[in-house]
A and B are shown apart, each in its own frame.
Chain A
């Protein structure tokens, strides 16, 4: 049983190995004529202005946080959906209640403006 998962691991290894070979080949085969101007940061021909590691919109954080909340819930739904036919009515109604509570949370976030992008 467990050995049928081995191709999965092998393919992931092979996929990343393949990509790694591409990386090495690109660095090895490419021309190399480095000048100082060539390796400065591209900024549409202007002289680079400060660094890019500065503060950015907090909206991205909010999106990421909402994502985690909903994604965990999606993960809960998967085993429930797969074993749906073997569940009794308790299993069915429990998930309906869960989704309704989740919907209430979603509605709250919506009205609070947490999903508003301006």
Chain B
């Protein structure tokens, strides 16, 4: 095992992936959100900075960095600083297990379009574990600010996230039963052509979709930041880039959720036609690149869907939210699990 080669390969991939997340997920995501909301509300949206306002997110980030960073005197200084680091750190770390395309051959070695090789059979488990850690960032932010709005926002958010994590985890068991693996690469490979999991697990997909909205604190489940009653929720007392970090984490999470939905249910990077038809061989670099673009296009559709829903659906009330999570989605997910396992058991 050549260690320096391993580290160099890791660093190159990590830099590419981090740039990609920050460019596509954060910068383009924020731009898309503002443009789509403007389009839905019959406005123009950002159009001053750069062509079509495309440079707006970069101007925003520079502005956020130069803003005054206020720490309230009543706040717990240590946890007030740690909270945004946890939120953003978790949002970025998830990409350790997400594959983007089939591996390709370069010389005599196989290069994977992911940070980890497929024999790291923990993909989904790792993502769920990190999602649970992400709750800490929001809880710390709410508690440490020593502000009533922040505390209520943080409490609501953590209760909401742990409630929907259950249905999310349970709906995934159905997918695991079909795919028989925890590794995202293998799950995608089993969905070749049109063998998408969404056709085998439609109920699991719906449960996962709704839970993903709640997990990312997006409308119609954006209770933690319900402006009319809680000002800014858990980030009321944050300013400058610390606020920006929560913002960035939210958009990165939205992109990650869309990516996971595509990987688990919509065939991931699989092309709609066999690769041989367009003259590309398995293991060639160009096929991998094409698959990567297919994956990103599918993902951007779901990012658009997230934004579309936010600007068209009114916010839930908190008791309705809890009702949906505990009394509708949880039993449905359990039912889906039992039916799936029985069908697979008697079919084999």
Contacts and interface: CB of A to CB of B under 8 A. Distances in A.
A26 to B, nearest CB: 3
Contact of A110 (B68, B242, B327): B327
A103 interface: yes
Given A18-B88, A52-B147, A56-B151, A33 B337 contact: no
A75 to B, nearest CB: 8
Contacts, number: 214
A96 B338 contact: yes
B169 interface: yes
A52 B151 CA distance: 7
A1 B119 CA distance: 8
Main secondary structure of the interface of B (DSSP, over half): helix
* A-side interface size class: 35 or more
Interface string B64-85: 1111111111110000010011
10 contacts: A8-B115, A26-B244, A29-B65, A43-B148, A51-B74, A51-B146, A63-B162, A67-B165, A103-B331, A106-B330
Interface of A: 1, 3-8, 10-12, 14-16, 18-20, 22-23, 25-27, 29-34, 38-44, 48, 51-53, 56, 60, 63-64, 66-67, 70-71, 74, 77-78, 81-85, 92, 95-96, 99, 102-103, 106, 110, 115, 117-118
Interface of B: 1, 6-7, 10, 14, 18, 64-75, 81, 84-93, 95-97, 115-117, 119-120, 122, 125-126, 145-152, 155, 158-159, 162-163, 165-166, 169-170, 173, 176-177, 180-182, 231, 236-237, 240-242, 244-245, 318-319, 322-323, 326-327, 330-331, 334, 337-338, 341-342, 344-345, 348
List of 7 A-B pairs having minimum Cβ-Cβ separation, nearest first: A26-B241, A11-B96, A15-B92, A16-B89, A15-B93, A19-B88, A81-B176
